A and B are shown apart, each in its own frame.
Chain A
Amino acid sequence: MDKHRRIVITGIGVISSLGNDLASFSRHYLQGKLPEIQERTVVFLETAYLQKIMALPSWEDKSVPSAHRRRMSLLSRMIAVTAMQCLENANLEKEKWAQLGLVIGTGWGEQETVHKVIPQVILEESEMVPFPTLFHNSVHNASAGYLGMILQSQGPAITVSQEEHSFEAALENGMLLMDRGHSRAVLAGGADEFFDFAVLEERKSPFPADTISSGSCFFMLETEEDARERKARIYARCSFLPPGKLDESTIEEYSEEVKSSLAGGKSPDLALFTGPIDDRTEMLARSFLARIFPTPVPEIFYGSYPSRPTQGAERFLESLVMLESQSVPLQLKKDAGIDHPSGILLVCLTGSRQCRLFYLQQGEQ
């Protein structure tokens, strides 16, 4: 693989059920606080469904100009607000916004808007066209369009929608844009909005069991050189390792590829596995790790299915919080036996065992 540029995280923005800014998210995460859950009744056509969702805290969106705000969906506003939080947190000079790359990962995209448009186009008795604003807001990249206008950014603006790897693929794309010289700085993130169709997903029961959520996390990516030059705060260095697939026939070749890309660098203090992980996947994952690192690396499996496709963005943020604060939640300390991680390997898996790997290392060293 070509040599990557050294990429660092210099800004964070978050709206989630654990907090609507970095400080409250970090505090709640390290305290081991569980997100609040509420029940909400959704009426889909004429059937009522009860859905458990993670409560989203109230949040201000004054950073978004009102001319845009009144047209935007909740998803677009969440994305705009977290992106602005992120820019503020990164303290990136405004003149650099014009060439920023934007990479947004979203699994569900604008489905809530689609839900509003469809009833307008299925009336057969008359000529019916939807409201034009609703229509152009129904595309997955509506948020990227609004964000580009707000920031007046003419850099690449990409929207990735790859189910439970939407955020991970977006982050990878952001880093590729920098590696390939298309952007010097990239705002990359993941966001999803709870939408009413979700209650019908693979179940026709009026009382679905899964808890789902809304939220958005954004990260400012810069080259280490640029960040140091402008004396930016560095949360972590981030490298992406070769993506691949964890199965019996490829694990040997794949682990060798990952091992060689690490080129004998320092082993991580902790490996976090995210995504839907069954017993077979867990066994393969352990074997994969053992093949790469000569000494055992403490590992944690976040085995549950994500409560939204871009839940991985929060796992990424949690890792940054641990590296920045040099502490871990009590439960994780008990499970993994570590308390001051300086390097975390995020192993992000999908149901078909597609694997994306991000290696985060403490920034200010």
Chain B
Amino acid sequence: MVRVVITGAGTICSIANRYDEVGPSMKKCVHGIGPVTLFPANTGHPVAEVKHLEAPDKKRFRTSLLAEKAMEDALSKTGALGNRTGVSFSTCTMGMLEMEQSFIALKNGHGSDLSFAKSLSAGSIANEISCRYGFSGPVASFSTACSSSANALACAFFWIRQGMCDAVVAGGSDSLCRLTYYGFQSLKVMSDTPCTPFDVNRKGMNIGEGAAVLLLESLESAKRRGSPVLAEVMGVGLSADAYHMSAPHPNGEGAYLAMKKALEEGSMSPEQVDYISAHGTGTRQNDVAESIAIGRLFANHCERMYVNSIKSYIGHTLGAAGAMAVVFALNSMEQGFIPPTIGLQEPDPECRVLHPPSSGTEARVETILINAFAFGGNNTTILLRKFHG
């Protein structure tokens, strides 16, 4: 069996402009949630924006620029990659922000030179990456809403396990835009304060933006190239709720299946998991359903296994969320530190999981489960383990 390891990680989000900045921000428990500045907003719902991101070229989409920054970061220490490198990427918003601006210009009688085809293409970023870096492996893009980048990672894992690639650049990128900002408001799930997942007084979610990129590699390739290994990917779990378009199954059926399958693929038992990076959006429906699923699968082990939500730091980065959670998880593993869910003061009694204390906790972090759930009842879980050679 081909072992799959992570040998590079990069990110840009509201609290970090690169991977190395994530750990310190996490330890300081700072969040990057504040007012919208990217476009005029008529409501007071805060978001997690990436600051000081200047596009060198006005035709460059913000989502694509975010992806490029995370890519550069992820590959900054990895050395040259071989021909058999694939790209598995994800985005939901693509060039939506720029397209909205174009629509406004057209509506006001001005011209627009935006490439609508490119701005709408979920696959264009992956193609750009593959061409820019001269990779010859397969290219695929996933657009499954908030689980997109977790599915991109799952595909990368399959490609390497199956021997189709030696390495795969995998991740996701999404920028803020009016469509998602007002769209989530239409579902009445947006909080007017920084989100506090799992708190009994939570008000909902904040959307965010950013990009996260991981370099997955076969262990053999990593050894050949002398790459330092950040973690091993043990398994992935994929499932569907078959319940509702925008609400999770109330008992977390799909979430339970995804976590169970990931453990099965990794041949690991629930008792071996030290920490779950929850999807944890901060909506009651998600938090309760996810907690029920965790309780069902992990039973008494819930008393010893921490659960948190990084969305309290960087908001919900939608198509980038799954890969972003992996980036944070790698930092936790490296530092032996599990950050708290910021703002969690009074845990919801319906969410019977072990929350880290408010300043975080030093802990043994050998094995981490990462959850990413989405519209359409789409659920994906990634299982990571510290690499031991």
- Mark A residues whose CB is within 8 Å of B: 1-2, 45, 71, 102, 107-109, 111, 114, 117-122, 124, 126-133, 135-142, 144-146, 148-149, 151-163, 165-166, 169, 172-173, 176-177, 179-180, 182, 197-198, 200-202, 242-245, 247, 250, 253-254, 350, 352, 354, 356
A197–B120 touching, CB < 8 Å: yes
**10 A-B pairs (CB sep. < 8 Å):** A132-B187, A139-B144, A139-B374, A145-B245, A155-B238, A162-B139, A165-B139, A169-B141, A201-B117, A352-B130
B115–A202 touching, CB < 8 Å: yes
B106–A45 touching, CB < 8 Å: yes
B163–A140 touching, CB < 8 Å: no
| Residues from chain B with Cβ under 8 Å of A111 in the complex | 120
A197 to B95, CA, bound (A): 13
| Residues from chain B with Cβ under 8 Å of A154 in the complex | 239-242, 253-254, 257
| Choice from A142, A156, A163 contacting B123 with Cβ under 8 Å | A163
A162–B239 touching, CB < 8 Å: no
B122–A127 touching, CB < 8 Å: no
With known contacts A118-B99, A161-B123, A173-B140, A136–B117 Cβ distance under 8 A: no
| Residues from chain A with Cβ under 8 Å of B241 in the complex | 148, 154
In chain B, residues 321-356, which have Cβ atoms closer than 8 Å to a Cβ of chain A?
none
B126–A176 touching, CB < 8 Å: no
Binds A, one of B203-211, B220-228, B361-369, B375-383: B375-383
With known contacts A1-B164, A132-B246, A141–B83 Cβ distance under 8 A: no
Is residue B61 within 8 Å, beta carbon to beta carbon, of the partner chain? no
A39 to B181, CA, bound (A): 37
B142–A158 touching, CB < 8 Å: yes
Interface size class of B (residues with CB under 8 A): 35 or more
B139–A145 touching, CB < 8 Å: no
- In the assembled complex, the CB of B143 is this many whole angstroms from the nearest CB of chain A, namely 4
The closest CB in chain B to the CB of A354 belongs to B139
B103–A119 touching, CB < 8 Å: yes
A352–B127 touching, CB < 8 Å: yes
A201–B123 touching, CB < 8 Å: no
With known contacts A180-B161, A352-B131, A146–B245 Cβ distance under 8 A: yes
With known contacts A117-B179, A131-B186, A149-B242, A172–B138 Cβ distance under 8 A: yes
| Residues from chain A with Cβ under 8 Å of B83 in the complex | 250, 253
| Residues from chain A with Cβ under 8 Å of B103 in the complex | 45, 118-119, 122
| Choice from A1, A107, A155, A159 contacting B142 with Cβ under 8 Å | A159
